[in-house]
Amino acid sequence: MRGRRGIRTAFVSAAAALLCAGAVSGCTAGSPGAAAPAESRAPAPARTPAPSPTPDSLWDVSPGSVAAVGDSVTRAFDACAVLADCPEVSWATGTDTAVNSLALRLLGPEKAVTRSWNLARTGARMAELPEQMAGAAAEKPELVTVMMGANDACRPTPELMTPVADFRFSFETALARLRAGAPKAQVYVSSVPDLKHLWSTGRVSPAGLKVWKLGICGSMLADAEDLGPAAERRRTTVRERVVAYNKVLEEVCAEDERCRYDGGAVFGFRFDGGQLSPWDWFHPSRDGQARLAELAYRRITKE
């Protein structure tokens, strides 16, 4: 405010000087209130307004604690054994050195055990994120990782996918819950993976086709061998919904000065057969988890 008042005063003075220069009388040097000659006045020092903080200036590239929220990917479901969580190989908080999780990279082995928390739940959808965020806020973490949304698209049919407006409301509510309890926590938001790419990778595997018939992500993976126009339209509809979810994640994150979106890195990552679970050809394997950790670390530590 002081900078603006100085600019306004300088502007009024300059305007008065111009009026005096053009007037015939009323602004003589001897008259009360007359301006001093220009050559006798010292120029006013320029005022530089203080810059407003930006998201990048508030971002700490080496946070000292990590809380992870999300779904089965963050729980490393089907990464170690069939139909089981394996959080020790989680991309976010795992302790397996082969994966080299985000927590291991940021905190080191000892603090990764004591200063990281995996609050994700297999099967969770975005509507559950506010509750998970409240739990994360209670730990007062310096960084919260979010990977949520695949289950909102992976429904039995496309008609049952979470509406985009509901997805947005839940994500906004989740960030508000976090800010209520941990106002300075940083947030890393992962994009939702490209489910259609996962279909195109797994459909060439006889084992993948067999297990998908049990009902995994029916909206995308049902009738996986069907390449007809109706099936292709269905898959395109699901992919478009994932794209819409990612746009929501990006937009809402951009409104929070301590939030970083991954820029679509996970959506754009091309998982191959070795990076998918050998039990379901859908969830990341150990190697897939390691790739997710690498993507997150690269974005979080970018200056």
Q: Is the separation of the CB atoms in 89 and 76 below 8 Å?
A: yes
- Per-residue confidence band for 40, with pLDDT thresholds at 50, 70 and 90: very low
- In this prediction, residue 73 carries a pLDDT of 98
User: Residue written as tokens 């941990």?
Assistant: 182
Q: 215 vs 147, which has greater pLDDT?
A: 147
Name the amino acid, one letter, at 217: C
- In this prediction, residue 48 carries a pLDDT of 52
Judged by average pLDDT, the poorest of 44-53, 232-241, 257-266 is 44-53
24 pLDDT exceeds 80? no
Q: Report, as an integer, the average pLDDT of 234-250.
A: 98
Spell 73-92 as b/e; 16+ CB within 10 A means b. Answer: bbbbbbbbeeeebbbebbbb
- In this prediction, residue 206 carries a pLDDT of 92
- In this prediction, residue 58 carries a pLDDT of 87
- Per-residue confidence band for 47, with pLDDT thresholds at 50, 70 and 90: low
Q: Report, as an integer, the average pLDDT of 70-99.
A: 98
Q: Is the separation of the CB atoms in 189 and 260 below 8 Å?
A: yes
Percent of the chain clearing pLDDT 70 (strictly above): 81
Q: Report, as an integer, the average pLDDT of 277-295.
A: 97
- In this prediction, residue 140 carries a pLDDT of 97
Q: Report, as an integer, the average pLDDT of 205-226.
A: 94
From the CA atom positions of the chain, what is the Rg in Å? 28
Q: Calculate the average pLDDT of the chain.
A: 86
224 pLDDT exceeds 60? yes
User: Residue written as tokens 């530590």?
Assistant: 301
Name the amino acid, one letter, at 67: A
List strands edge to edge, sheet with 186-189: 116-118, 66-70, 143-147, 186-189, 259-261
Global pTM value: 0.81
Q: Report, as an integer, the average pLDDT of 4-14.
A: 37
- Per-residue confidence band for 27, with pLDDT thresholds at 50, 70 and 90: very low
Q: Torsion over CA of 258, 259, 262 and 267, rounded to 10 degrees? A: 180
Judged by average pLDDT, the poorest of 21-35, 56-70, 255-269, 280-294 is 21-35
227 pLDDT exceeds 80? yes
Q: 52 vs 158, which has greater pLDDT?
A: 158
- In this prediction, residue 34 carries a pLDDT of 40
Name the amino acid, one letter, at 32: P
Q: Across-strand partners of 186?
A: 143
Q: Report, as an integer, the average pLDDT of 117-138.
A: 98
